[in-house]
A and B are shown apart, each in its own frame.
Chain A
Amino acid sequence: MRKFFSKMNTWSFLALCIILFLVGPNITIIEGLFTPENENWAHIKEYILADFIRASFLLVFFTGILTIVLGTSLAWLIAQYDFPLRSFYKWALILPLSIPPFIAAYTYHGILNYTGVVQTTLRNKLDVKVNAAYFDIMNMPGAIFIYTMVLFPYVYTIVRVFLSQQSATLIESARMLGKGPFKIFFQVVVPISRAAIVGGASLVILEVLNDYGVVKYFGIQTFSTAIFQTWFALGDIDSSLKLAASLMGFVIIILILEKVLRGRKQFSYASTKIRPLKLVTLRGGKAGFATFYCTIIFSLSFLIPVIQLIDWFILTFGHIPFQDFFIYVKNSTIVAAISATIIIVFALIVGNFNRLFQGRITKVLTRLSILGYSIPGAVIAVAIVTAFIQLDEWLTPLYVKLGLDSTLVLSVSLVMLITAYLVRFFAIGFNSIEAGYEKIGTNFRDASRLLGSGITKTFFKVDVPMMKGAIISGFILVFIDIMKEIPLTLILRPFNFDTLATKAFQYASDEKIMEASQASLFIIVISAIAIFIFNKLLEKEPS
Chain B
Amino acid sequence: MKKLFAFLVLSTLLLLAACGDSSSKTQKDSEEKTDSSKEVSKEESKEVNLYTSRHYDVDDALYKEFEKETGIKVNVIKGEPDELLERIKREGDATKADLFLTADVARLFRAKEDGLLQAVSSDTLSKQVPEKFQDTDQMWYGLTKRARVIVYNKETVKPEELSTYEALTEAQWKNRVLIRGAENVYNQSLLASFIEINGEEKAKEWASGLVANFARDPEGGDRDQAKAITAGIGDVAIMNTYYYGQMLNSTDAEEVKVAESLGVFFPNQDTTGTHVNISGAGVINTSKNKENAVKLLEYLSAPAAQTVFAETNFEYPVNPEAASSELLKSWGEFKEQDIPLSTLGDHNSKAVMIFNEVGWK
Task: Assess whether B243 is interfacial by the CB under 8 Å rule.
Answer: yes
Q: State in angstroms the CA–CA spacing of A216 and B11 once bound together.
A: 42
> Closest chain A residue to B218 by CB distance?
A219
Task: Assess whether B157 is interfacial by the CB under 8 Å rule.
Answer: no
Say whether, besides A225-B183, A415-B19, A514 and B251 are in contact (CB < 8 Å): yes
Task: Assess whether A495 is interfacial by the CB under 8 Å rule.
Answer: yes
> Closest chain A residue to B221 by CB distance?
A511
Shortest C-beta distance, B5 to chain A (Å), equals 4
Q: State in angstroms the CA–CA spacing of A392 and B92 once bound together.
A: 12
* A-chain residues with CB within 8 Å of residue B86 when the two chains form the complex: 237, 382, 385, 491
The reply to whether A490 and B79 contact each other, CB–CB distance below 8 Å, is: yes
Which listed segment binds B: A29-37, A59-67, A192-200, A226-234?
A226-234
Task: Assess whether B77 is interfacial by the CB under 8 Å rule.
Answer: yes
* A-chain residues with CB within 8 Å of residue B81 when the two chains form the complex: 232
* A-chain residues with CB within 8 Å of residue B24 when the two chains form the complex: 409, 413, 415
Task: Assess whether B349 is interfacial by the CB under 8 Å rule.
Answer: yes
Size of the chain A interface, CB-CB below 8 angstroms: 85
The reply to whether B252 and A315 contact each other, CB–CB distance below 8 Å, is: yes
The one of A132, A342, A496 in contact with B231, judged by C-beta atoms closer than 8 angstroms, is A132
- Contact flags B78-102 to A (C-beta < 8 A → 1, else 0): 1111111011001110111000000
* B-chain residues with CB within 8 Å of residue A232 when the two chains form the complex: 80-82
Give the most central of B31, B34, B76, B217: most A CB within 10 Å: B31
- Contact flags B213-229 to A (C-beta < 8 A → 1, else 0): 00011111111100110
- Contact flags B226-269 to A (C-beta < 8 A → 1, else 0): 01101111000000000100100011101101100000000000
Say whether, besides A511-B243, A514-B252, A219 and B31 are in contact (CB < 8 Å): no
The one of B84, B95, B228, B352 in contact with A229, judged by C-beta atoms closer than 8 angstroms, is B352
* B-chain residues with CB within 8 Å of residue A382 when the two chains form the complex: 83, 86-87, 90
Task: Assess whether B156 is interfacial by the CB under 8 Å rule.
Answer: no
Task: Assess whether A115 is interfacial by the CB under 8 Å rule.
Answer: yes
Which listed segment binds B: A267-275, A356-364, A453-461?
A453-461
* A-chain residues with CB within 8 Å of residue B357 when the two chains form the complex: 47
Q: State in angstroms the CA–CA spacing of A418 and B27 once bound together.
A: 14
Shortest C-beta distance, A117 to chain B (Å), equals 9
Interface SS of A by simple majority: helix
Say whether, besides A389-B92, A405-B38, A414 and B19 are in contact (CB < 8 Å): yes
The reply to whether A138 and B219 contact each other, CB–CB distance below 8 Å, is: yes
The reply to whether A342 and B221 contact each other, CB–CB distance below 8 Å, is: no
Shortest C-beta distance, B34 to chain A (Å), equals 6
The reply to whether A114 and B258 contact each other, CB–CB distance below 8 Å, is: yes
The one of B27, B80, B349 in contact with A234, judged by C-beta atoms closer than 8 angstroms, is B349
The reply to whether B252 and A115 contact each other, CB–CB distance below 8 Å, is: yes
> Closest chain A residue to B39 by CB distance?
A405
Q: State in angstroms the CA–CA spacing of A456 and B87 once bound together.
A: 43
Task: Assess whether B9 is interfacial by the CB under 8 Å rule.
Answer: yes
The reply to whether A493 and B83 contact each other, CB–CB distance below 8 Å, is: no
* B-chain residues with CB within 8 Å of residue A338 when the two chains form the complex: 15, 18-19, 22
The reply to whether A385 and B26 contact each other, CB–CB distance below 8 Å, is: no
Task: Assess whether A506 is interfacial by the CB under 8 Å rule.
Answer: yes
* B-chain residues with CB within 8 Å of residue A512 when the two chains form the complex: 246
The reply to whether B1 and A345 contact each other, CB–CB distance below 8 Å, is: no
Q: State in angstroms the CA–CA spacing of A221 and B228 once bound together.
A: 21
The reply to whether B91 and A408 contact each other, CB–CB distance below 8 Å, is: yes
The reply to whether A381 and B1 contact each other, CB–CB distance below 8 Å, is: no
- Contact flags A12-39 to B (C-beta < 8 A → 1, else 0): 0010000000000000000000000000
- Contact flags B17-38 to A (C-beta < 8 A → 1, else 0): 0111011101100110011001
The reply to whether A132 and B96 contact each other, CB–CB distance below 8 Å, is: no
The reply to whether A392 and B15 contact each other, CB–CB distance below 8 Å, is: no
The one of B34, B188, B352 in contact with A406, judged by C-beta atoms closer than 8 angstroms, is B34
The reply to whether A217 and B220 contact each other, CB–CB distance below 8 Å, is: yes
Task: Assess whether B121 is interfacial by the CB under 8 Å rule.
Answer: no
Say whether, besides A234-B349, A338-B19, A514-B252, A132 and B94 are in contact (CB < 8 Å): no
* B-chain residues with CB within 8 Å of residue A228 when the two chains form the complex: 183
Task: Assess whether A472 is interfacial by the CB under 8 Å rule.
Answer: no
Q: State in angstroms the CA–CA spacing of A249 and B117 once bound together.
A: 37
* A-chain residues with CB within 8 Å of residue B250 when the two chains form the complex: 514
CB-contacts of A297-319 with B (<8 A): 315-316, 319
The one of B12, B56, B353 in contact with A345, judged by C-beta atoms closer than 8 angstroms, is B12
Task: Assess whether A218 is interfacial by the CB under 8 Å rule.
Answer: yes
* A-chain residues with CB within 8 Å of residue B185 when the two chains form the complex: 233
Shortest C-beta distance, A490 to chain B (Å), equals 4
Task: Assess whether B40 is interfacial by the CB under 8 Å rule.
Answer: no
* A-chain residues with CB within 8 Å of residue B255 when the two chains form the complex: 115
The reply to whether B87 and A115 contact each other, CB–CB distance below 8 Å, is: no
Say whether, besides A47-B357, A219-B217, A233-B352, A414 and B26 are in contact (CB < 8 Å): yes
> Closest chain B residue to A130 by CB distance?
B231
The reply to whether B352 and A132 contact each other, CB–CB distance below 8 Å, is: no
Task: Assess whether B304 is interfacial by the CB under 8 Å rule.
Answer: no
* A-chain residues with CB within 8 Å of residue B38 when the two chains form the complex: 405
Task: Assess whether B75 is interfacial by the CB under 8 Å rule.
Answer: yes
The reply to whether B1 and A114 contact each other, CB–CB distance below 8 Å, is: no
Task: Assess whether A174 is interfacial by the CB under 8 Å rule.
Answer: no
The one of B82, B217, B252 in contact with A231, judged by C-beta atoms closer than 8 angstroms, is B82
The one of A7, A115, A457 in contact with B227, judged by C-beta atoms closer than 8 angstroms, is A115
* B-chain residues with CB within 8 Å of residue A139 when the two chains form the complex: 219
Q: State in angstroms the CA–CA spacing of A114 and B152 once bound together.
A: 16
Task: Assess whether A295 is interfacial by the CB under 8 Å rule.
Answer: no
Q: State in angstroms the CA–CA spacing of A389 and B93 once bound together.
A: 11
Task: Assess whether B307 is interfacial by the CB under 8 Å rule.
Answer: no
The reply to whether B222 and A233 contact each other, CB–CB distance below 8 Å, is: no
Q: State in angstroms the CA–CA spacing of A232 and B230 once bound together.
A: 33
Task: Assess whether A173 is interfacial by the CB under 8 Å rule.
Answer: no
The reply to whether A411 and B91 contact each other, CB–CB distance below 8 Å, is: yes
The reply to whether B181 and A219 contact each other, CB–CB distance below 8 Å, is: yes
Task: Assess whether A321 is interfacial by the CB under 8 Å rule.
Answer: yes
CB-contacts of B136-163 with A (<8 A): none
The one of A229, A320, A409 in contact with B57, judged by C-beta atoms closer than 8 angstroms, is A320
Shortest C-beta distance, B31 to chain A (Å), equals 6
Task: Assess whether A2 is interfacial by the CB under 8 Å rule.
Answer: no
Give the most central of B12, B218, B258: most A CB within 10 Å: B12
* A-chain residues with CB within 8 Å of residue B5 when the two chains form the complex: 7, 10, 454, 456
The reply to whether A490 and B94 contact each other, CB–CB distance below 8 Å, is: no
* B-chain residues with CB within 8 Å of residue A490 when the two chains form the complex: 78-80, 83
Return 26 A-B CB contacts under 8 Å, by A number.
A7-B5, A109-B224, A113-B227, A115-B255, A119-B231, A120-B254, A219-B180, A233-B183, A233-B348, A233-B352, A234-B353, A235-B348, A342-B19, A345-B12, A385-B91, A405-B35, A406-B94, A409-B24, A411-B91, A414-B23, A454-B2, A495-B30, A502-B78, A506-B78, A511-B223, A514-B252
Chain A contact residues, CB within 8 Å of chain B: 7, 10, 14, 43, 47-48, 109, 113-115, 119-120, 131-133, 136, 138-139, 216-219, 221, 225, 228-229, 231-235, 237, 315-316, 319-321, 338, 341-342, 345-346, 349, 378, 381-382, 385-386, 389, 392, 404-409, 411-415, 418, 453-457, 459-460, 487, 490-491, 493-496, 498, 502, 506-507, 509-512, 514
5 tightest CB-CB pairs across the interface, nearest first?
A: A454-B1, A132-B231, A414-B23, A506-B55, A115-B254
